[in-house]
Every structure is written in structure tokens, then in C-alpha cells.
Structure 1
Amino acid sequence: MDHIAAERAFQAVRTLEPYRLWDMEVYSTLLWHLQRPVELSFLAQELLNIDPRSPQAWIAIGNLFSLQKERAQALTCFRRATQMDPSCAYAYTLSGHETIDEDLDKAVTFFQSALRVDPRHYNAWYGLGTCYLRMSKLRLAEYHFRKAVEIHPNNAVLLGCVGMVVERRGDRDAARSLFDKAVQLSPENALVRYRRAKILISAKEYQAAIKDLEHLRNSSPEESNVVFQLAKVYRLVGDEVNSAQLLAIARDISPKSLGKIKKLLETAKDESGDDKMDEG
């Protein structure tokens, strides 16, 4: 999703319809993703002035608290939104996402509440998939991610989630085709391209992996994991000069990566190394 283009579209809509409430809960979440506290605060205040009993206003306030890491207050606001409109699936889903890092079971309950209200609310299917993935319940995770894809088939993030689960249960070919489709749908989505590069490395398709990683490096030059993986692949194809230069860059970007750099240098050239090297 192009967040900046979406923001411009919402700004245009608000100029044309300043008293519009419809979809403003989505706009508030967009501002949360863009880390825009001033704009989010202004939007929340305006929505509250338009209708203090609207779920959109309380979701916007909840998103503002969430952005400020005030989790309890955010959950209170999302609950208030469901009191204002018990059919507001989005408020339950945001409650689930707000809870997911602290209490997976509670998050599951919130996402299930969202689906009881609206069975086609793909965000809640995605949320449940994420919960089950964290619980290492791969079959349940895959089922819920696939349900989300059924509703929103052209969403690269959702396809990437299915690909990630399929890869974890050992079907690399199926995962590869899912990542291929996700990259085709959203060429600038860094996460799905990165996951595809990792699969290509595992399959020893090094030149294709280099192409993906160079693309990522051009768009995110400060991402140390990408630089590190690129150094790793160049080493695997025998290009020690490029590998050494990139390892030096990775070390400068992220000094804490020194341990995994040493580990890579101790790994034989024909080994792909630990697949978890890019974590941390």
C-alpha cells in the first residue's frame, strides 16, 4: 500500500467533505502507520466535534493513544467505539492488534469478536493468523491467512503471510510461487521481496537473490539485514571483494551485527549458513 498516496486521497476527501465520518477510522490508522501524532490529534478532535458518539472519533482517539504507547487508554477508547456501535468490527480488530504483544489469547478473543460482527473483515482473519503463527500453530495460521486472501486476493502482505507459513512447514516451492505473486502485485513491498530472496538463497539461486537484494538495498540503503544478506550471497558466489565491502557497511550501519559477521566469515563458502542470521 502506498501510504503517502492514500494520505493525499484522504486529505482531498476531507477538503471536499469536512464533516464526513465514513472511513475516517481508516484514515486515523493510516496516520498511525505514518507516525503523524499532530495530524492524528487534529483529526481526532475534529471527529469528536462532529459527533462525540461516533465510533470513528473514538477509534481516532484510540489510535492517538496507541501511537503514544498508552496501551490501556487506547483499549478503553476502542471499547468505547464498540459501545457507540456494537457492529463496528474495526474497533475489535484494533483492540486485538493493541493486545497481541502482551496477551495472545485475549487478542484472539478480540479478533473473533470482530468476525462475529463481520465475517468478511479480512483484517481480523489476518490478526488471527498472526496470533496462531506466534503460537507456532502453523495449520491454523495458514487457514486464517488464506481466509483473509479469499476476501482480499490482491493484497501482497496477506500473500506474503501465507508464503511465510507455507515456507515454515517445509513447502519451499509453494512459498516461492506465493512470494513471486506478492512481488508482482507490489514490487516495492520490501518484506515480501526479502522473504523471496531468502528462499532463493536456500534454493542456491544466487543471481536471482542478488537481484532482489540489490533492489532492496537501493530502496533501503540503511537496512543492515539486507546489506548483510547481500554480503552473504556475494561470498557464496565467490565475490570476496563485494562481500567484504558490504560486511564493512553492515558493521557501520549496525555495530551489534559484529557477532553474525564473524559467524559468516567462519562459515564455509558453499554453506548457506544459519537461516536465522538476519534476525536480531
Structure 2
Amino acid sequence: MRTALFCFAFVAVFSGRAAADRCAGATSRLALVFAQLAQGDIASARENLGPIQAQHPDCPEIILALARMADETGNAPDAGSLFARYLQLAPQDPRAYTYFGRFLIERRQYDQADSLSAQALETNPQDPGVMALRGQILDMKGQPQEGLALLERASELDGKDAETEFYLGTMYDRAKRPAEAVRCFKRTVAINPHNARAYDYLALNLEPLGQVVAAEQAYGKALEVNRPGPHFDAFLDYNYGRFLGKRGDPKASKFFFDRAVELAPDVRAVWYERAKLNLQLKNYEQARSDAERAATLRDDRGIIIDLQIYALLERVYHRLGDAELAQKYAELAKKTPVLARGERQGGSRTHE
């Protein structure tokens, strides 16, 4: 409440002077604050913003910095109000649209983000951040080629925007273009070394390139920085558990799968993979429990299809000596059609 009252009092003192005049003498220090925000160093950004606020209370860019801090720390109500206020104060600044649009997307306010991105593209058609925002919206609207073209152009113009590089990397990941994805995620973590999701994606895309040691290092960095916040990765333990399993370390793999089912209890793939591991470890009752739990969960993305669940349950009940249930799932497997290529995503890895 104190933060909200402070922000309200702060935004009320603006005079009618030009924004540039109101921020005169603070430009270089504000640049440092925004660089620290881009790096995920919120504490340093807040510390450096304090003196600027005291000396330049009318500077509108302070509103943008406060909005981004509120967003990064999970204070959505203040962030939304501050982003909207900055857009009113600086409608010619492309950042007003870019950061507000990304905020709206994170809150699943897609219609508002769509309108804002279209307006931004009309106002600032050559701005990389605006291009990236519109590209993301187009991709989400089912126009991936148009979206990809805008994001690639934005990356060419400014390869130092972590959010642009991250989203572009996820598009390459979906398209199974690991080399391009690795390039984007390396750029992302170079800018913001606190982004656990980017390290996870980096590791996932290093694996198919045969760079196993580099992938393990990326997983290690992801685990080191995975903290609650906007870049928290609930699927990191699952992905790392699968990596360790493929590396022949089932004990370590189970440790991470045990954590994964706590972090993502409604995801079928998590329970399925732990069930397979428990079957391998001869923990048959736990394998049964995990596989039955997986069978109750929907998987609209087709990462783990029903046929895989039934085949696993057949094996589990066979090991448990329950011929009747083993036969039941064998019959279900025979009756379940295999999805045609393109109807399922394929593989067992997952992400948000």
C-alpha cells in the first residue's frame, strides 16, 4: 500500500515541461539503471534510482523504471498502473509500448497487447522493440512466419534485447532449429545471467547438437539462478532429470524427478517419465502410482500420448504380476490409434 501511495503522489507532481528538460542531467545515470534492469539486477537498479528520484522528481523515465521494477518483483497492480501512466506521458517513446505490451502478454491480456502492438507499429515501424512485440503477437495469433520475420529483423537491428532474443529462440526451438536457438539463448543469458528459463532452453538445444558437456554446464547455471520471479523455470528439474537419465545416472535423475512432480503436478510428462524411471529401478508400486496418475492428466500438446501411457501400464502390471490389468492395458494400446506425424509435438521434453 505504501508503494502504491508513493507512486500515486509521485506521478501527480509532473509539470508541463518537455520530458527531455525534466530528465536533464540524469541521462547517463538512467541508462545505467535500465541496463541493470535488463540484467535482472533489481537491487542495484533500485539503489541507483533513488538519488535520481530525489534530484529529478519530474523526470518521466523514472515512471518507466518504477514500472519495470514493480513488474520484475511481482507487483502487477502497480506495474500496470505505472506502465499505463508512462504511455500517457511519453506516447512517442517506443519503450512505452514495448514494455507495457510484454507486461500485458505475461498477464494473458492478449487483446490489449494486440491493439497496443498494432498501434506501436504504426507509430514506430522501424523500432526493434516494437517489431519484436508485434512479431510475438503475430506468432501467438497463428501467423508464425510473419512473426518470425519481424523478430529476426528486430534481432538484426538490436541483438542486445534479452526478451527479443529469448522469444526468437523459443520459436527456433519449436521449429527444431537448435543451432539458431542456441545462438539466441546464448545472447539472452549474456545480457541477463539471472534468466533460468533461458539457460534451460540453451541446454535443451545444445543436446541435439552433441554438445553434452556444454549442456550440463547450462543446466548447472540454470539450477544456480532458478529463483521465484519472472524467469523462474518450473520445468527445469524435469528436463535435467531426463538429461541425467540419458547420461546413465538414474539415482540423480530420480532426485530431480521427485522435485519435478512437486513443481509441475498437473503435467502428464513429468509423472510419465518418473514412472518409467521407477520401473527401471524396480520400484514397481511407485511406477504403477505414477503411471496411473499420468493417465488421469490431459496432454493437449501431444507430448505424451495415451498409447505411451497404456504401453507403460501394461509393462508395470506385468512386473507386478497382475495379468488381468496387464491384458486390459495391452488391449487399450491395440485399440488406440497412433497419431499421424504433425498431430503431436513429439518427444518427452517440455517447457512453459
TM-score by length of 1: 0.72
- Following superposition, the deviation at residue 168 of structure 1 comes to 2.0
For 2:175 and 2:268, the matched residues in 1 are separated by 28
Residue 154 of structure 1 deviates from its aligned partner by 4.5
Structure 2 partner of 1:243: 287
Match of 2:347 in 1: 276
Return the offset for 1:264.
1.5
Q: Do 2:64 and 2:83's aligned partners in 1 also have CA atoms closer than 8 Å?
A: no
Shift of 1:227: 2.2
| TM-superposed deviation, 1:279 | 6.4
Residues 193 and 110 (structure 1 numbering): CA distance in 2 closer, same or farther, change over 3 Å? same
2:186 maps to which of 146, 169, 174: 146
Partner of 2:13: none
Decide whether the 8 Å contact of 2:268 with 2:299 is kept in 1: no
Contact 1:61–1:77 (Cα < 8 Å) also in 2: no
Aligned partners of 1:145 and 1:158 also within 8 Å: yes
Aligned partners of 1:92 and 1:114 also within 8 Å:
yes
Q: Does 1:110 align with 2:150?
A: yes
Partner of residue 222, structure 2: 182
Unaligned runs of 5+ in 1: 1-5
Conserved 8 A contact 2:178-2:205: yes
Distance in structure 2 (CA, Å) of the matches to 1:146 and 1:64: 23
- Whether the 8 Å contact between 2:222 and 2:236 is mirrored in structure 1 is yes
State the structure with more CA Rg.
2
SS of the residue corresponding to residue 110 of structure 2 reads coil
Give how far 1:201 is off. Answer: 1.8
Q: Provide the residue aligned with 2:110 in structure 1.
A: 69
- Distance of aligned partners of 1:103 and 1:28 in 2 relative to their CA distance in 1, 3 Å threshold: farther
Looking at structure 2, the residues matched to 112 and 179 of structure 1 have their Cα atoms a distance apart, in angstroms, of 26
Matches for 1:1-280 after TM superposition, within 5 Å: 20-23=62-65, 26=68, 42-59=81-98, 62-63=101-102, 66=105, 67-70=108-111, 72-80=114-122, 82=124, 89-101=128-140, 102-186=142-226, 189-254=233-298, 258-266=306-314, 276-277=347-348
Q: Which amino acid aligns with 1:114?
A: A
Ranges in structure 2 where 5+ consecutive residues have no aligned partner = 1-41, 320-345
Q: Distance in 2 between matches of 1:21 and 1:98?
A: 25
- Take 1:173 and 1:45, find their aligned partners in 2: how far apart are those partners? 45
8 Å CA contact retained: 2:288, 2:313: no
- Say whether the 8 Å CA contact 2:200–2:218 is kept in structure 1: yes
SS in 2 for 1:22: helix
Number of equivalences: 261
Q: Report the 3-state secondary structure (helix = DSSP H, G, I; strand = E; otherwise coil) of the residue aligned with 1:23.
A: helix
Kindly provide the amino acid, as one letter, of the partner of residue 201 in structure 2.
C
Secondary structure at 2:347 match in 1: coil
Asked whether the 8 Å contact 2:114–2:134 carries over to 1, the reply is: no
Tell me which residue corresponds to 1:3: none
TM-score (norm 2): 0.59
Pair 172,48 (structure 1): closer, same or farther in 2 beyond 3 Å: closer
Change (3 A) 1:93 1:224: same
Contact (CA 8 Å) 1:138, 1:169: kept in 2 or not?
Answer: yes
C-alpha contact (below 8 Å) 1:48/1:57 kept by paired residues: yes
Residue 182 of structure 1 deviates from its aligned partner by: 1.6
CA-to-aligned-CA distance 1:183-227 (integer Å, 9 cap, x gap): 123266322222111111222311111100111223333333222
Cα distance in 2 for partners of 1:235, 1:162 equals 30
Contact 1:194 1:212 in 2 (8 A): yes
